[in-house]
Amino acid sequence: MVLPTAYGRPLAAWYPPATGRERSSIRMSDASNTFLSAAGEPPFRAIGPCQRASIAPYCARVRSLVSAERFAHVMRVASLAETIGIANGFSRGELRATSLAAVLHDVARDLSEDRLRQLAPPENHVESRHPLALHGRAGRAIAVSWGVTDERVLDAIEHHVCGPRPGDRVAMAVYVADVTEPGRGVNRDVRELAMRDLAGAYQRAIESKVRYLRRHGKSVHPRTLKVHAEISAQFS
């Protein structure tokens, strides 16, 4: 088996070795903290998300709805989001939620504007003028229709467009991975910061987005402005 890599290191290298207690409890079946599937699939440290029995069906569905280029982006985001989660000490449950949310985050990105409006009716002037701003909420609706119930996953899908609430680690990892994945060719500093300080990387990403939009005279989504204000208040 060829293991996925991240920034010159095997993905497995980002996972600390399991302790005796972790090894003995690794087949936890609690729905919110499942790390292995019922079939005993390998842990995240060994394989990529779409090789996992519990996530592979979603990969196939996403692949059927997006372009090849978009799906390649999704895979880069999923690998990076997992790596960020590992580097920041995510629990097994958080890692699985992060992986699934990253796989699903752009499921609605290539839908028509009419379909986006059907799935997620505009709620403000930005969404009315820019239907692509709806693809996070539309993606959440699709995920729900596919049986996804984990609120961490659903929130991460919905808010990867405009920004999740500060402190939502799963959603922040997906957001940062989305805006910094290597295929974009930008935000390397944010990506590197995320490996040691996810909250700081998220703050930098949001501040950078707001500055960019304002500098170019573009509308900022009310949700992004709210998150930006919350972050500014925390660090003021």
Q: Where are the domains of the chain?
A: 5-235
Measured torsion, CA atoms of residues 168, 170, 173, 179, in degrees rounded to the nearest 10: -80
Query: What's the length of the chain?
Result: 236
Interatomic CA distance for residues 88 and 26, integer angstroms: 20
- Please, what sign has the CA dihedral across residues 172, 156, 164, 77? positive
Helix, strand, or coil here: 53?
coil
The 3-class SS string of 157-224 reads HHHCCCCCCCCCHHHHHHHHHHHHCHHHCCCHHHHHHHCCCHHHHHHHHHHHHHHHHHHCCCCCCHHH
**Cβ-contact 150, 174 below 8 angstroms:** no
- Please, what sign has the CA dihedral across residues 169, 175, 181, 185? negative
Helix, strand, or coil here: 16?
coil
Helix, strand, or coil here: 10?
strand
Helix, strand, or coil here: 46?
coil
- State the pTM of this model: 0.81
End-to-end Cα spacing for the chain: 49
5-235 belongs to which CATH class? mainly alpha
Digit-by-digit pLDDT tens for the chain (236 residues) are: 333 344 344 333 333 333 333 232 222 222 223 333 323 434 444 357 888 888 999 999 999 999 999 999 999 999 999 999 999 999 999 999 999 999 999 999 999 999 999 999 999 999 999 999 999 999 999 999 999 999 999 999 999 999 999 999 999 999 999 999 999 999 999 999 999 999 999 999 999 999 999 999 999 999 999 999 999 888 76
